[in-house]
Amino acid sequence: MKNFFVYLLIMGITLYGMIMYNQPSLMIVFIFELLMLLMSAALIIYLRFKISSELILPIQRVKKGEPLMMEIQVKNTSFLPVQRLKANLYYHYNFSKKRHRIVLLESIDGKSETRLRCQILPEYCGCLTVNHIVIKVFDFLNIFNFSNKVNEVFKIAVFPDLYPTDITISRQTRNFFPDSDTYAKDKSGDDPSEIFKIREYAVGDRLQNIHWKLTARKGLAMVKEFSRPIGCNAIFLLDIRKEEFPAEHLWEITFAIAYGLLEAECYFYLSWIEGHSKEIVRRMIDDVESLYEAMEELICMNISGYDKSIDEIYQETYSGDTQNVRLVLDTSLNLYHNGNMIYAFDDEAIEDSLSGLHLVI
Q: What share of the chain is helix, strand, coil (3-state, %, to 5)?
A: 30, 40, 35
- Answer yes or no: do 236 and 355 share one domain: yes
- The string of pLDDT tens digits covering residues 164-215 is 888 888 887 777 665 555 555 556 655 565 666 777 778 777 777 777 777 7
Report the alpha-carbon distance of residue 170 to residue 361 in Å, rounded: 6
* The predicted structure's pLDDT at residue 236: 92
Residue 4's contacts (CB-CB under 8 Å, 6 or more residues apart) are 143, 144
Assess whether 42 and 57 both reside in one domain: no
The tally of domains found in the chain comes to 4
Kindly state whether residues 134 and 224 are assigned to the same domain. no
Residues 280 and 356 in one domain: yes
Q: Which band of pLDDT confidence, cut at 50, 70 and 90, is reported for residue 230? A: low
Do 351 and 243 lie in one domain? The reply is yes
Residue 150 and residue 126 in one domain: yes
- Please tell me whether residues 142 and 258 are part of one structural domain: no
Residues 82 and 138: their CA atoms lie apart, in Å, by 7
Please give the average per-residue pLDDT across 116-145, as a whole number: 88
pLDDT at 243: 66
pLDDT in tens, 92-108: 888 777 888 999 999 99
Domain that includes residue 59, residue range: 51-159
- Do both 299 and 260 map to the same domain? yes
What's the whole-number mean pLDDT along residues 279-297? 90
Confidence tier at 4 by pLDDT (50, 70, 90): confident
Q: How many residues does the chain have?
A: 361
* 289-347 pLDDT per residue, tens: 999 999 999 998 877 666 778 888 888 888 777 667 889 998 889 999 888 888 888 88
Residue 149 pairs with which residues in a beta bridge? 134
CA–CA gap between residue 193 and residue 177 (Å, rounded)? 14
Final residue in a domain of this structure, among 102, 125, 159: 159
Q: Which of 48, 68, 85 is the last residue of a domain?
A: 48
The average pLDDT across 57-85 equals 88
- Co-location of 69 and 145 in the same domain: yes
Chain mean position to CA 128: 8
